[in-house]
Amino acid sequence: MSDNGHQQNEHENVPSRQRRRFEGISSRTYEHPADRSALVALRKLSGFDTVFKALSGLLPERSLRLLFLSDSVRVSDAQFAHLNTTLRDACHILDLEKVPPMYVAQDPQPNAMCIGLDEPIIVVTTGLVELLDEEEMRAVVGHEVGHALSGHAVYRTILLFLTNLALRVAWIPLGNIAIMAIVTALREWFRKSELSADRAGLLVGQDLKASMRGLMKLAGGNHLHEMNVDAFLEQAEEYEAGGDLRDSVLKILNTLPRTHPFTTVRAAELKKWAESRDYQRIMDGHYPRRTEDKETSVSDSFRQSAASYATDVKNSKDPLMKLVSDIAGGAGDLGGRVRRGFGGFAGGTPKDQTAPKDQTTPEDRTSPKDQPPRDSTPEDDD
């Protein structure tokens, strides 16, 4: 009897179709570089989680738990059994030891979230459940499990707390400006954490087409027969490259207040990652383990983050980003000339710009002995 029970429990945690399982996987595997650097730094702060969790009384976490327990449907073998199976599958694939509670909340707006400080809980709305098919939902549940594995719930709550604080001190000019600067930076991290979770969803579903379909439905509703993935991705490319500097500024202004990247952008970013060598290495079983997390270097993570942003700017087709890249390239060339002792400027004018001899002025024909002596050479000016 016990052997049969053991086999049944094992079977409950096995995905409905064969998928690769990532045993002991570290969340660093799928985290966007900007997200990873922030998380590595926060994790290195000894006692940070403990202190912040001690302040959780200031936050409505317990209230939210009671609210979902009393006014939503808790997913289990008896309720929304297919979602319960999907949740266990996702936790099995990402090797999350404890399966977080999951609730379905009545809300026509498609949405999902992972909240909570001590123990994360996952909430999906009825609008989302009714919108997505099984494989699309698997990617979404994997997305939320990725948030749980990364510990995003703890750090995202900081953003919620500071946003509320900013509203309370709005009457203090300097205080509000300072807090809003922090909130703006946290929102940028928040958006990158969504890209990380999208990658986790792909690792769970292991079906890029399903992930793309889910994002399209979030943008255009349940009219999949009227939509096309390639055309949807073309929108992302047009958004990235289209317009002029005015449009670039408007993109920034539209993005700043958002906690999530735009849907077409998410789709394009996920497709790019799925086609990368990094993703293929993960699928081949080569990825960081959680046992190595303590050895992670904060400085290395920040360098990777900076390199990622630099690459994004360099490869961006956005008019403003291209201008920034061009200016940076020009400044780099100027700096190189300066380091070479002004060699780029002192080496003479180009041949096709040499002034004819008959156009020289009397001052140009002044004898060297009539000119004041030079105190230094260009090399001395360094």
Active site residues: 144
Q: Are 120 and 197 in contact (CB under 8 A)?
A: no
Residue 47 burial class via C-beta count within 10 angstroms: exposed 0-12, middle 13-18, buried 19 and up = exposed
Taking the C-alpha atoms of residue 146 and residue 161, their distance in angstroms, rounded to an integer, is: 22
Taking the C-alpha atoms of residue 100 and residue 90, their distance in angstroms, rounded to an integer, is: 11
Q: Which positions ≥6 away from 61 have C-beta within 8 Å?
A: 115, 116, 117, 118, 157
Residue 369 burial class via C-beta count within 10 angstroms: exposed 0-12, middle 13-18, buried 19 and up = exposed
Vertex 283, ends 114 and 316: CA angle to 5°?
Answer: 70
